[in-house]
Amino acid sequence: MVNDNLYAHFHPDERPFVDKASDWVQRAADHTVKVTDFLDPRQAFILESLVNREPDVNIRFDGGYEGAERKRAVIVPDYRDPEDEDIHLQVLEISSDDTRFSELEHGDFLGALLGLGIKRDKIGDLHVHSSKCHCLVAGEMIGFVDTELRHVHRVHVLTDIVPLSRLEVAKVSLEEMSLSVASLRLDGIVSDVCRLSRAKVLAPIQNGRCKVNWKVVEDPSKPLQEGDVVSFQGFGRFKVLEVEGVTKKGRIRVKIGKYI
């Protein structure tokens, strides 16, 4: 069981994951190898911080390629090399002869996968191309997904399991926009990016519907900085690319990149 001092470092909503991750670490210290589901960057940070508190445990993260956002972890006793452990990653290729396939987006593929009844934790990054989509899938689920996935947003699709070496990583696309803001407050920038009034973003932020760097932030006044990734439920994600300076009128110029 995690002590209250450790809980103080995490948001209350994160406590169930902290409990689970602490159990994984303890089991590894007791000589059990644990391969996790896919973790987002915040979960990976929490897990790594717990591992760093335990001298008898080692860890390795792998999302299938360098720069992966969602990764699985393998946690091992210190006398085992995590590099020698199979982390069970597979690539599912989705394709179609239907001309509408090229119009499908990331959300369409993710929705179709989740529609099979599998958990988001079993799916890693998705790489959407005009003629195919490469999905990182937990090895224990790949056979089921390969057999069951036949439609994506009413488009009939074909699936194939391909070697990890054939993974084609999609370039992240950002739609850039420039803002002139009074401050770098979270609520102000979310309001401008999502084209909502300040009043309409205030309550959702306070109710835990906004994350900064994958961590729930309920303080609307939190200042953002370069590199921060913000997600606002129902409106997608954006990244603070650059704080460009201050205008003559004292406003701050900010460059934002919206994930598309």
The pTM (predicted TM-score) of the whole model is 0.86
- Residue 84 CB neighbour total at 10 angstroms: 9
Residue burial 150-183, b: 16+ Cβ < 10 Å; e: rest:
eebbebebebeeeeeeebeeeeeeeeeeebebee
Q: Which CATH number fits domain 4-81: 1.10.10.10, 3.90.226.10, 3.30.1370.160, 3.40.50.300?
A: 3.30.1370.160
Residue burial 90-128, b: 16+ Cβ < 10 Å; e: rest:
bbbbbebeeeebeebebebbbebbeeeebeeebbbbbbb
Confidence tier at 173 by pLDDT (50, 70, 90): confident
CATH of span 174-259: 3.10.290.10
- Residue 37 CB neighbour total at 10 angstroms: 17
What's 65's DSSP letter? Answer: S
Show Cβ contacts of residue 162 under 8 Å, excluding neighbours closer than 6 positions: 91, 92, 93, 134
Residue 149 scores a pLDDT above 80: yes
Express each pLDDT in 61-99 by its tens digit.
999 999 999 999 999 999 999 999 999 999 999 999 999
Confidence tier at 172 by pLDDT (50, 70, 90): confident
Residue 4 scores a pLDDT above 70: no
Picking from 48, 123, 132, the residue whose alpha carbon sits closest to that of residue 82 is 48
Q: Which CATH number fits domain 89-166: 3.40.50.620, 3.30.70.330, 3.40.50.2300, 3.30.1010.10?
A: 3.30.70.330
Give me the mean pLDDT over the 93-115 stretch: 95
| CA 117 vs CA 112, 114, 135: distances in Å | 9, 5, 16
> Is 64 exposed, middle or buried, given 0-12, 13-18 or 19+ CB atoms closer than 10 A?
buried
Count the helix, strand and coil residues of the chain and give each as a percent rounded to the nearest 5.
Answer: 30, 30, 35
Q: Which residue is it, tokens 């598309």?
A: 260
> Is 14 exposed, middle or buried, given 0-12, 13-18 or 19+ CB atoms closer than 10 A?
middle
- List, edge to edge, every strand of the sheet that includes 158-162: 123-128, 132-138, 89-95, 158-162
Asked if domains 4-81 and 89-166 share a fold, the reply is: no
Residue 11 scores a pLDDT above 90: no
Mean pLDDT of the chain: 94
Delimit the domains of the chain by residue range.
Answer: 4-81, 89-166, 174-259
Give me the mean pLDDT over the 112-134 stretch: 96
Residue 1 scores a pLDDT above 60: no
Any idea of the CA torsion for 51, 53, 57, 61, to the nearest 10 degrees?
A: 20
